[in-house]
Amino acid sequence: MSCCGKSRTQLFIATGTTAKSTPAAVQRQGVMARANAAAPTGPPAATTTFQYTGKTRLTVIGPVSRRRYDFDRSGVRISVDARDANSLATVPTLKRV
């Protein structure tokens, strides 16, 4: 008969953590690994231009490319990764041009 403690130890070994790690710590490490893997890689395949119509600075993180778009003043136009365009289009102060 096996016990759950043995399975937990095997989980810690498989994830490269110590036996003193908690399941929550293992879960956080997995989240961080996925976040690092989602970092932007290379130039975007296609771009779309957006113009900012707001009054103050706006910074948006693209949900697909994970790129940071900094609209520092009203009227500024920035080329964004086409994969992020649909999400940025939902921001009321950004318009496609």
Q: Running along the chain, 97 residues long, what does each successive block of 10 average in pLDDT?
A: 52 46 51 50 78 96 96 96 96 96
Angle, in degrees to the nearest 10, between helices 4-15 and 23-37: 30
SS3 track for the chain = CCCHHHHHHHHHHHHCCCCCCCHHHHHHHHHHHHHHHCCCCCCCCCEEEEEECCCCCEEEECCCCCCEEEECCCCCEEEEEHHHHHHHCCCCCEEEC
Domain ranges of the chain: 4-37, 47-96
Neighbouring CB atoms inside 10 A of 84's CB total 22
pTM of the model: 0.55
